[in-house]
Structure 1
Amino acid sequence: MSLSSELGRQPINESSLRYPGWRIALTCFAVAIFSWGFGFYGQGVYLAELRDLEGWPASLVSAASTSYYLFSAVLVVFVSDAISRFGPKRVVLAGTACLGVSTALVGRVTAPWQLYVAYLLMSFGWAAMSAAAITTILGLWFRARLGLAISLAFNGAAVGGIVVTPVLVAAIERVGFARALLTGAAIMAAILVPMTIAWMGKPPLQLGPHGVSNATLEKSGSERWTRRRALGSSKFLTVSAAFAVALFVQVGFLVHQINFLAASMDRRRAGFVVAITAIMAVVGRLGLGVVVDRLDQRMASAVCFVAQTVALFVMASTSDETALFVTCAVYGLCVGNVVTLPSLIIHREFDAASFPMLVAFSTAITQFVYALGPGSLGLIRDISGGYQVPLLFCAILNVVATGIVLLPRFWSARRDNTR
């Protein structure tokens, strides 16, 4: 029985475990495991391996990562439109193909231009399988339980770091870089293709032009948000700018984490610490997820930024393995929430009808900025000769992000005091 017919025969109850939307959430969870595992956390593994195998400087490989994020940011702007036109199933299947082929190609590059070609193809996979796509897809099946569905699906991103990174590092040591990536890509296809075909049918809610939900728009009678109108909204700009800066730091740090840790421990231990960072991301997201609907989400974001700032300052000042283990765990507590909170803030502060388009647009803006993270940190590292200066730079930027995300609260308090 198809999903659409199943939904048509019974009233939608999103709280029921039998509601087909939870199969979509599970599929998105699996999508997140592989998209973040190969397209995000894998970047750090690729950087370290290509430096060892080819002798390329960190800045060169980081620049390729930067171009990958920049081009995929252009694609992310239109991901809700693509899902509206082609349907979520085709978009996810196409993304799986692009990510799988490009991952296998990365293992076989012997010249910098080949790496750029592989990352160009990978950018299509990342755009079709990362945050904007997942939140847009879930928005077609959920309204009342959207926040929970997003949090559960995004835990797959952390699992990608917990499972994919250490397994990839171990597999590379055992069978080599090229064969390990080819095997990983094959496993991804074997899992995602059947799940997507079997469960990702026609959604109960349809997206209209520009990724705006037709059903919700008609029901609410709200004025439609556009990308131009969003750029004039201080609420939209502050959430996008704050998380753009925070994710610039986070993406840059995570791409360089293994290389940074390798100066103080062997590669296998560094991979284990990355896994612990990802485990703590799950713990942090689940812990905050229980109460986030009752919290000031901008204040919760600020707390996350401050915690990461402290961890970065400590990492910059020590090479002790135990201290690095603890600070990476603390940093990891907030990694998942920094990814999830922008969507939740937009969901709370804007109408549901425009949620898919606004999330995709905000994600694209933040990705344009955080795309510069790996390359910038790699360049600073090569110039300074180590990671102390890049880490201190990241800590300062997190302080800036804290101030930006709290600006609407400051403006509101100032207006109240002048009345």
Structure 2
Amino acid sequence: MAATHIDESSLHYRGWRVVLACFLMAFFMFGFGLYGQGVYLAELQRAHGWPGTLVSAASTFSFLLTSVLVVFTDGLLERIGLRSLILCGLMALGASTVLLALMQTPWQLYLAYALMSVGWTGMGTVVIAILLNSWFERRRGLALSLAFNGATCGGIILAPLLLSLTGSIGFRSAMLATTLAMMVLVLPVVVTCIGWPTGMSLASGGRPRAGGAAAPSHPRKALLANAAFWTMVLPIAIALLAQMGFIIHQVTFLEPLIGRASAGLAVTIMAAMAIVGRLSLGLFVDRLDPRLACAASMTSQAAALFVLLQSTSPTVLLACCAVYGFSIGNMITFPPLIIQREIGAAAFAAAMGLGTSISGIVSAFGPGIVGLVRSLTGNYTTAFAMCVVLDLVAAGVVLWRPRRRAEETPNLSTLP
């Protein structure tokens, strides 16, 4: 790999410009595609009188469609190329946000959310992980942490900006203005900075292969038979299910205890700590065992939730949200590190796509499950206690390192 022959720590290394491009992609993709959905829910109900169930069902449809589409990321990269895939994702996301601003009928809502799913496929975590995997070897963890911080910044900056602009110039103008800003900022950076390392072409997994040789095929059934793959995917999916459940219900839980203003502050603190957590992990993760670090993050979230359920003190509750937030962002940083180390470069793209799909489908049910348990019991104690147990189970599973004998396990780099 080209990156092994130069100093990845140097600011002159082109890979850091790729990190900047990935940061901007994550900023707008998560800002519009995840954190902005709360804004759309409120504004579309207000503008058109549509029931909340219609808009929230469109959100669920989008997340599930995204989880299906990302499975095919490696094939799309081979067929249309890296830059073309990202540009397609950018155009689809832009079309989605413009349609959200201009729509008049419910079918347009579902079309907009379907286009958003295409945007996730071209600009989401799988493509970012594959791209940075090709540029970094020794500083891969730091590069991933910096790039994925764009996702959290999208929630801290873009979503509040949409709310502010909506109050001053209206929802339609706010969406069109921020979409234009995305195109102006992201399009030139993608065109000038995005690409594989010089003189290389795509091998499966986003790792470059000299001479432009064709990438081998990696059947997904081989990954599904790989124990190391499952002991990474399942715990991440379980932890994300618990995490999504807590995040969506956090304000509803905290508001009766500490008031609306303090509940909003808790969300801000949690998001800010997610940035701190990613940056802190990025500085050391390349020297850590990613499975141990992942288990520690899951355990810390379980501990934070457990203490949260025992207290009504505003200070303690805010501190628990801070501790919980410290590990939020890292749940999407660990999978590429574990895959690269244990499954290898050749199957990286296929494993990232399949793993992200499974995690996405499982975690999409987190808010619904927490809400259902809360409805059945009348409070959040049992629901969040369930999340504590899920985090501890996930931490135990991710520590399991299955032993594979060469004669019993298919070699993913040589399968036909």
Query: TM-score, normalised to structure 1's length?
Result: 0.82
Secondary structure of the corresponding residue to residue 361 of structure 2: helix
The alpha-carbon deviation at position 342 of structure 1 amounts to: 1.3
Q: Does 1:326 align with 2:319?
A: yes
Q: Who is 2:140 aligned against?
A: 146
Q: Who is 1:207 aligned against?
A: 202
| Residue type of the alignment partner of 2:247 | L
Q: Who is 2:414 aligned against?
A: none
Which residue among 228, 231, 241 is the counterpart of 2:234?
Answer: 241
The alpha-carbon deviation at position 179 of structure 1 amounts to: 3.4
1: distance between equivalents of 2:329 and 2:353?
Answer: 18
Q: Who is 1:408 aligned against?
A: 401
| Residue type of the alignment partner of 1:20 | R
Q: Does 1:27 align with 2:25?
A: no
Secondary structure of the corresponding residue to residue 77 of structure 1: helix
Q: Who is 1:417 aligned against?
A: none
Q: Does the 8 A contact of 1:380 with 1:390 survive in 2?
A: yes
Show the 5 A alignment for 1:42-191: 42-47=36-41, 54=49, 56-57=51-52, 61-106=55-100, 113-191=107-185
Which residue among 384, 394, 397 is the counterpart of 2:390?
Answer: 397
The alpha-carbon deviation at position 327 of structure 1 amounts to: 2.2
Change in Cα spacing, 1:109 to 1:327, as seen in structure 2 (3 Å) is farther
Change in Cα spacing, 1:112 to 1:326, as seen in structure 2 (3 Å) is farther
2: distance between equivalents of 1:137 and 1:359?
Answer: 12
Q: Who is 2:331 aligned against?
A: 338
RMSD across aligned C-alpha pairs, in angstroms? Answer: 3.4
| Residue type of the alignment partner of 1:179 | S
Secondary structure of the corresponding residue to residue 407 of structure 1: coil
Change in Cα spacing, 1:320 to 1:66, as seen in structure 2 (3 Å) is farther
State the structure with bigger RCO (CA 8 A, min sep 6), 1 or 2.
Answer: 1
Change in Cα spacing, 1:98 to 1:344, as seen in structure 2 (3 Å) is same
Q: Who is 1:361 aligned against?
A: 354
The alpha-carbon deviation at position 133 of structure 1 amounts to: 0.8
Give CA deviations for 1:362-387 in whole Å, capped at 9, x if unaligned. 11221121122244445555666665
Larger proportion of helix: 1
Q: Does the 8 A contact of 1:301 with 1:405 survive in 2?
A: yes
2: distance between equivalents of 1:49 and 1:398?
Answer: 35
The alpha-carbon deviation at position 74 of structure 1 amounts to: 1.1
Q: Does the 8 A contact of 1:297 with 1:341 survive in 2?
A: yes
Change in Cα spacing, 1:297 to 1:138, as seen in structure 2 (3 Å) is closer
The alpha-carbon deviation at position 297 of structure 1 amounts to: 1.9
| Residue type of the alignment partner of 1:308 | Q
Give CA deviations for 1:188-228 in whole Å, capped at 9, x if unaligned. 122111211222245433224x5464628999xxx985422
Q: Does the 8 A contact of 2:20 with 2:147 survive in 1?
A: yes
1: distance between equivalents of 2:379 and 2:158?
Answer: 27
Q: Does the 8 A contact of 1:68 with 1:123 survive in 2?
A: yes
The alpha-carbon deviation at position 80 of structure 1 amounts to: 2.4
1: distance between equivalents of 2:379 and 2:45?
Answer: 15
Secondary structure of the corresponding residue to residue 38 of structure 1: helix
The alpha-carbon deviation at position 334 of structure 1 amounts to: 0.2
When the two structures are aligned, how many residues end up with a matched partner?
398
The alpha-carbon deviation at position 162 of structure 1 amounts to: 2.3
Deviates more, 1:115-124 or 1:300-309: 115-124
The alpha-carbon deviation at position 276 of structure 1 amounts to: 2.4
The alpha-carbon deviation at position 316 of structure 1 amounts to: 4.8
Give CA deviations for 1:4-32 in whole Å, capped at 9, x if unaligned. xxx9xxx7543432222221111001111
Q: Who is 2:411 aligned against?
A: none
Deviates more, 1:385-394 or 1:234-243: 385-394
Q: Does the 8 A contact of 1:316 with 1:389 survive in 2?
A: no
Give CA deviations for 1:291-332 in whole Å, capped at 9, x if unaligned. 223323212211211221233344456666544432222111
Secondary structure of the corresponding residue to residue 202 of structure 2: coil
Q: Does the 8 A contact of 2:301 with 2:323 survive in 1?
A: yes
| Residue type of the alignment partner of 1:206 | S
The alpha-carbon deviation at position 333 of structure 1 amounts to: 0.1
Change in Cα spacing, 1:212 to 1:343, as seen in structure 2 (3 Å) is closer
2: distance between equivalents of 1:32 and 1:301?
Answer: 22
Gaps of 5+ in 2: 405-416
Give CA deviations for 1:166-186 in whole Å, capped at 9, x if unaligned. 333333344444433333222
Give percent identity, aligned residues only.
43
Gaps of 5+ in 1: 1-6, 413-419
Q: Who is 1:416 aligned against?
A: none
2: distance between equivalents of 1:307 and 1:61?
Answer: 34
Q: Does the 8 A contact of 1:139 with 1:146 survive in 2?
A: yes
Secondary structure of the corresponding residue to residue 215 of structure 1: strand
Secondary structure of the corresponding residue to residue 352 of structure 1: coil
